[in-house]
């Protein structure tokens, strides 16, 4: 059997690798538009800042031995058992996996700005190289978009010594991911470093004037030498639609629990696929590496004749703010209320280790739970300590449908150098439990 994977990002590499492992006799072919097999997009902001080299983010060979790679070629058409490359070459398949990812979203009012010198989007390593080169000869930058990518780029440019302004159209940064109270903590940190965050200020125009760029928002405008458009991304479904594969209301490819599309024998995984949100039950676009990997795993196994399921996502995430981080999983209180869920939240601050130990830091945690049964719906975390474990554990509890009382009962490893007996998660869960119990006694 011949399995073809289009796209070799996180989802595509997982799909190809697991297809090859599950079916040793299958021929697995990957087609990737880049001229190198693998790159690590989540570390591009660190490379812009100079913390790692751009060369270290590229890998020339496929991650899995035995996978054939066709590099530097775009797939322009396909269906009916073949795909067609831009040079006219056709590659036949028995099973096809679409892992085409996402492309930067540029609103109509800003599309003309993309052609201006000094204005960039960020999709791959080459974009990062161009941004760093421009930054090294610049003094002012504007980042349009206060989401995860925008903030990490803003921090990177700030580390290079640029005066950075972030234009965000919503009332706070990381909309849909954080509640306003938690977002303001991150905004205060950014402000303390000289990063200006202009909320409720959607960018309407970017123009060149006197050799400099001018970004005009609803309320404020700024001059800059460098502008990065980080408004968001959209699923890349161009090829899927040409092949007659159905897309959903969110613009992503519709898949079932086996990651199979509406066309038998064609699978999709990663940023281009709509999957189930395990908290709300609604369809969502995960747009994160961890869900993309799991989706690719299921698609690869199933394309090779297996029966793996991808039940859905709780979207665990972390945004790097250099010496601090903000992260979460599940849904925020604002998001829960927006879709009609009756939820409560408890916000606390607690130390990651005993205060007398070096490196002790206060971590802010907001736990969101169902008012009806105490089921954990989401978590938001901010702090200068490593928050990865806290986000991961809570994401697992959310995925398992655990309630706040289950979180209180969790036993954790205690060692003063590394952890507290009463962890920040425990403190947050106990606070949420008390709030729920008080509400029931009324």
Tens-digit pLDDT profile for residues 101-154:
999 999 888 998 998 999 999 999 999 999 999 999 999 999 999 999 999 999
Q: Give pLDDT, residue 228.
A: 98
Q: Is the pLDDT of residue 211 over 90?
A: no
The percent of residues in the chain predicted with pLDDT above 70, rounded, is 99
Note the pLDDT tens digit of each residue in 368-380: 999 999 999 999 9
Confidence of residue 441 (pLDDT cuts 50, 70, 90): low
Q: Give pLDDT, residue 239.
A: 97
CATH no. for residue 337?
Answer: 3.30.390.30
Is residue 58 domain-shared with residue 11, that is, in the same domain?
A: yes
Note the pLDDT tens digit of each residue in 33-44: 999 988 999 999
Residue 428, domain member (yes or no): yes
User: Number of folded domains in the chain?
Assistant: 3
Q: Is the pLDDT of residue 188 over 70?
A: yes
Last residue of some domain: 176, 197, 231? 231
Is residue 116 domain-shared with residue 221, that is, in the same domain?
A: yes
Q: Specify whether the CB–CB gap between 398 and 378 falls below 8 A.
A: yes
Is residue 53 domain-shared with residue 74, that is, in the same domain?
A: yes
Last residue of some domain: 185, 210, 231? 231
Overall average pLDDT of the 328-335 stretch = 97
Residue 57 domain boundaries: 2-102+234-303
Measured CA to CA, the distance from residue 162 to residue 155 in angstroms comes to 10
Region at 80 (left for phi over 0; alpha for psi -120 to 50; beta for the rest)? left
- Residue 88: CB atoms within 10 A of its CB come to 7
Overall average pLDDT of the 3-13 stretch = 97
Among 412, 410, 405, 411, CA closest to 437:
405
Read off the DSSP letter of residue 401: T
Among 313, 321, 326, CA closest to 395:
313
Measured CA to CA, the distance from residue 296 to residue 12 in angstroms comes to 6
Overall average pLDDT of the 86-103 stretch = 97
Q: Is the pLDDT of residue 442 over 80?
A: no
Q: Give pLDDT, residue 125.
A: 96
pTM of the model: 0.94
Is residue 158 domain-shared with residue 215, that is, in the same domain?
A: yes
Last residue of some domain: 169, 203, 231? 231
Mean pLDDT of the residues in the chain: 96
Confidence of residue 61 (pLDDT cuts 50, 70, 90): confident
Q: Is the pLDDT of residue 438 over 90?
A: no
Is residue 128 domain-shared with residue 212, that is, in the same domain?
A: yes
Q: Give pLDDT, residue 169.
A: 97
CATH no. for residue 154?
Answer: 3.50.50.60
């Amino acid at each position: 059997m011949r399995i073809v994977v289009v796209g070799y990002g996180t989802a595509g590499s997982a799909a190809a690798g697991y297809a090859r492992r599950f079916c040793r006799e299958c021929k697995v072919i990957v087609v990737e538009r880049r001229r190198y097999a693998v790159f690590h997009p989540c570390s591009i902001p660190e490379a812009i800042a100079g913390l790692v080299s751009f060369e270290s983010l590229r890998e020339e060979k496929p991650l899995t031995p035995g996978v054939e790679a066709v590099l530097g070629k775009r797939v322009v058409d396909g269906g009916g058992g073949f795909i067609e490359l831009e040079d006219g070459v056709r590659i036949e398949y028995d099973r096809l996996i679409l892992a085409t990812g996402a492309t930067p979203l540029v609103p109509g009012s800003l599309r003309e700005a993309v052609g201006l010198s000094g204005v960039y989007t960020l999709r791959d390593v080459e974009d990062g190289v161009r941004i760093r080169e421009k930054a090294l000869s610049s003094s002012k930058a504007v980042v349009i978009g206060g989401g995860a990518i925008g903030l990490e780029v803003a921090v990177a440019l700030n580390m290079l010594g640029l005066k950075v302004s972030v234009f965000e159209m919503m009332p706070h940064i990381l909309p849909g991911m954080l509640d306003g109270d938690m977002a303001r903590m991150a905004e205060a940190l950014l402000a303390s470093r000289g990063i200006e965050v202009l909320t409720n200020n959607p960018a309407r125009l970017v123009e060149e004037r006197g050799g400099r760029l001018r970004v005009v928002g609803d309320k404020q405008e700024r001059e800059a030498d460098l502008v990065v458009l980080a408004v968001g991304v959209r699923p890349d479904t161009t090829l899927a639609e040409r092949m007659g594969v159905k897309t959903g209301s969110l613009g992503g490819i519709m898949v079932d629990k086996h990651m199979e599309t509406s066309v038998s024998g064609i699978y999709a995984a990663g940023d281009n696929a709509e999957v189930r949100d395990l908290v709300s039950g609604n369809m969502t676009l995960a747009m994160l590496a961890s869900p993309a990997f799991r989706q690719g795993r299921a698609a690869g196994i199933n394309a090779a004749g297996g029966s793996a399921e991808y039940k859905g996502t709780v979207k665990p995430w972390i945004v790097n703010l250099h010496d601090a981080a903000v992260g979460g999983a599940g849904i925020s209180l604002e998001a829960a209320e927006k879709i009609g869920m009756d939820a409560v939240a408890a916000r606390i601050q607690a130390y990651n280790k005993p205060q007398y130990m070096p490196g002790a830091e206060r971590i802010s945690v907001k736990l969101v739970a169902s008012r009806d049964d105490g089921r954990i719906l989401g978590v938001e975390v901010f702090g200068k300590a490593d928050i990865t474990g806290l986000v991961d554990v809570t994401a697992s509890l959310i995925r398992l449908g655990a309630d706040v009382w289950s979180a209180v009962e969790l036993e954790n490893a205690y060692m003063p150098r590394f952890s507290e007996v009463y962890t920040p998660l425990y403190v947050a869960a106990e606070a949420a439990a008390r709030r729920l119990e008080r509400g029931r006694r009324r």
